[in-house]
Chains A and B, each alone.
Chain A
Amino acid sequence: MTAVTLRAPARERPGIRPGVWAASITLALIVLAAVAPGLLTHGAPHESDALMALQPPGDGHPFGTDAIGRDVFTRIVYGARQSLLAGVGATVLAVSAGTLLGLLAALGGRVADEIIMRLTDVTLSLPTLLLALLVLTITGPGTLNSIYAIALYTMPSYTRLVRVQTMVIRRSGYVEAATSLGLTRAWIVLRHILPNAFAPLLVLATIEVGTALVAASSLSFLGLGARPPAPEWGAMLAGGRDYFSVAWWVAVFPGVAVTLTVLSITVVGRALQRRLEGRG
């Protein structure tokens, strides 16, 4: 991106919208919570105080306390790491595997293409969460396993995207030029095809991080992902179930955290998409 960018002088580039600003700041805070939770809260996520059980939001406990007196705010701050890791982890896995399969389908000949694309079709025609449940039946529950399961069913869309992109790029003038210069196939794929296929992939992946994050917290809520003592947002909601009738704050705040995270990821992702498509 260090090359000189030619820009039509008349074309106006509108500034970043206020919503995108707000989303970026929220996202930055959540990332900060994931990287250095100690900066945002002084408490520890597992520190409990039986005398302070189910205290409503107020002094010292901005989001109240849960059934065994743990500070809900602290647990939410510490939960950011787990949730972001699950969302990003599943997406990175899916993108890597999907890219590999997509390249293989596009460049590996007809047989490889047929096999990979039919497998992709089959995966895409199974309901996503049910596919994850099928995987978790085999592997057993757990944070890592739920990440694998989510990666498995999000992978096909990346495979498709990379395959199509590669097929288009392969016929472009610069790839032809590179081929006639006698460059090796691997070099062409690495230096010319992948970078050009990557921009739309990155945009899709950004938006999908939010979806993967919700999926991970849903699985945790169902008791198949992160286990209750862990400060994971979905698991917190599952663990607080019995107290919702008396303590609304246990039910409300972890969900706010998930929603805000996904919302800001989506807004930032869409802004990226508009940039990419040249719509502002």
Chain B
Amino acid sequence: MTKAAPRARRTRRRLRAVLVRLATSLLVIWGAATVSFAALQLTPGSVADALVGTSIVSPQVKAQIIADYGLDRPVLTQYLSYLGMVVRGDLGHSYQLNESVGTAIWAQLGASLQLTAAGMGLALVLATVLALLTAKRSRWIRGVSSGAELVGTSVPIFWVGILLLTVFSFQLGWFPAAGGDGLGGLILPAISMALPVTALLAQVMREGLERALDEPFVLTARARGMSDAAVRLRHALRHALLPVITLAGWLFGLLLGAMVVIEQVFSRQGLGTLMLGAVTGKDLPVVMGVVLLTASVYVVINTLLDLLYLVIDPRLREAT
């Protein structure tokens, strides 16, 4: 069908797909901003009270705060100016930290990126190895590994962290128990983060591998005298990666949630700690800032993944 279509029409169709994608992304970010703004308005008590916090201030000071933040304007005006700020990349001012939300997030971003990247990288490597080793093996190997994966997906992530901490930091003293900036401090948090993700990915990848290993092209490769390892690595693995990409956006959300919890278990700095402090301190601009940022990153990741599909699976380049 697509082969018959003239080149111009195909290009137009692809352009349209990209545009729809972009529009949806904008809608998502706009939605997130609106939800955030609504959240601010819905907070019990006035915004000015939240700004003042528990300290007792004179009516004059309160009036000053209201004027500073433009809280005396109609809700619609506030909403529009808030949207304007978001468009300009200005996330507002933290109630608690006395600095802009952007600065606060920027300061914590590095630590969180380090943690999530280490966790994700570890999970990808482990899951690939596990899937390659266990796909289409004897019954009991698969039984043991799928049992382990089931446990891995059921274990609460904070408990994994606590267990690792108890064994390797408190009992054996191999790693620092709290904080830890260097590599030594990153190992246990990364492992706890990787475990549930590994379990999930290994399941999906093994299924993909097993499907791929049933394909005729695998038989052809084997008939050419290719070794089993080479068949798995060179031919089947690429197919097993496709479903992983589909999951990646969802994994990103999982990792972010895990990040909040793991930073607490290991007393680490990062976005999670920043956000948790903001939640308990009712510091909405910071909470909204982190949510908006992650929503935007999510949109970017999903768009990139759509492109990555084309790289991994050349068949799709023709089809779109």
Interchain CB contact under 8 A, A121 and B256: no
Smallest Cβ-Cβ distance to A249: which chain B residue:
B166
A262–B154 touching, CB < 8 Å: yes
**Neighbouring B residues of A125 by C-beta, 8 Å:** 28, 32, 295, 298-299, 302
Interface string of A238-250 (1 = CB under 8 A from B): 0001001100100
| Distance, CA A251 to CA B171, complexed state (A) | 13
Interface residues of A in 251-280 (CB under 8 A from B): 251-252, 254-255, 258-259, 262-263, 266-267
Contact call A130/B150, Cβ cutoff below 8 A:
no
Q: If the complex has contacts A121-B27, A126-B294, A222-B260, are A259 and B287 also in contact, measured as CB distance less than 8 A? A: no
Find chain A residues with CB under 8 A from B150 CB: 263, 266-267
Would you call B288 and A127 a contact (CB within 8 A)?
Answer: no
A18 to B257 CA separation, bound complex (whole angstroms): 34
Within the complex, the shortest CB–CB distance from A253 to chain B, in Å, comes to 10
Closest to B196 in A: A214
A94 within 8 A of B: no
- With contacts A118-B27, A133-B279 known, is A259 near B151, CB below 8 A? yes
In the complex, what distance in Å separates the CA atom of A128 from the CA atom of B253? 6
Once A121-B24, A221-B261 are accepted as A-B contacts, the answer to whether A137 and B294 lie under 8 Å apart by CB is: no
B35: contacting residue among A19, A122, A245, CB under 8 A: A122
A133 to B28, CA, bound (A): 19
Interchain CA distance A163-B88 in the complex, whole Å:
37
Interface residues of A in 133-158 (CB under 8 A from B): 133-138, 140-141
Q: Is B70 an interface residue (CB 8 A)?
A: no
Instruction: Evaluate contact between A122 and B260: CB separation under 8 angstroms.
Output: no
Q: Tell me which residues across on chain A come within 8 A of B42, comparing CB atoms.
A: 138
On whether the beta carbons of A221 and B158 are closer than 8 Å, the reply is yes
Question: CB distance B294 to A224 under 8 Å?
Answer: no
Chain B residue nearest in CB terms to A19 = B147
Q: Does B264 contact A (CB under 8 A)?
A: yes
B157 on interface, CB distance cutoff 8 Å: yes
Task: Judge whether B156 and A222 touch: CB under 8 Å.
Answer: no
Determine the chain A residues whose CB is within 8 A of the CB of B280 once the complex forms.
Answer: 141, 223-224
User: Which A residue sits closest to B170, measured CB to CB?
Assistant: A245
Q: Which residue of B lies closest to A266 (CB)?
A: B154
- The 8 A CB mask of B283-299 against A (1 = contact, 0 = none) is 11001101100110011
CB pair A127–B27 under 8 Å, yes or no, is no
Q: At the interface, is chain B mostly helix, strand, loop or mixed?
A: helix
Contacts of B284 in A (CB 8 A): 137-138
Q: Are B43 and A138 in contact (CB under 8 A)?
A: yes
> Closest CB-CB distance, A241 to chain B, in whole Å?
8
Interface size class of A (residues with CB under 8 A): 35 or more
CB neighbours of B260 from chain A (8 A): 129-130, 133, 222
In this complex, what residue of B is CB-closest to A126? B295
Whether B197 is near chain A, meaning CB under 8 Å from some CB there, is no
In the complex, are the beta carbons of A118 and B31 less than 8 A apart? yes
Contact with A along B243-262 (1 / 0, CB 8 A): 00000000011101100110
Task: Give complex CA distance A263, B155 in Å.
Answer: 8
Is B177 interfacial (CB-CB < 8 Å)? yes
B275 within 8 A of A: yes
| Chain A residues in 8 Å Cβ range of B153 | 266
Max count, chain A CB within 10 A of own CB: residue among B157, B280, B284, B290: B280
Interface contact A127-B264, CB-CB below 8 Å: no
Closest to A130 in B: B291
- Complex formed: what's the CA distance from A224 to B278 in Å? 12
Indicate if the CB atoms of B162 and A251 lie closer than 8 Å: yes
Partner of A130 from the list B24, B256, B283 (CB cut-off 8 Å) is: B256
CB–CB A127/B170 < 8 A: no
- Give the Cβ gap from A64 to chain B, nearest Cβ, in Å: 13
B276 within 8 Å of A by Cβ? yes
Please give me the residue from chain A that is nearest to B253 by CB atom. Answer: A127
- Does residue B85 face the partner (Cβ distance < 8 Å to A)? no
Query: 9 closest A-B pairs (Cβ-Cβ)?
Result: A129-B257, A255-B159, A122-B31, A127-B253, A245-B170, A262-B154, A127-B256, A263-B154, A137-B279
Between A and B, 13 residue pairs with Cβ closer than 8 Å are: A122-B35, A125-B295, A126-B295, A127-B294, A137-B39, A245-B166, A251-B166, A252-B163, A252-B166, A255-B163, A262-B155, A263-B150, A266-B153
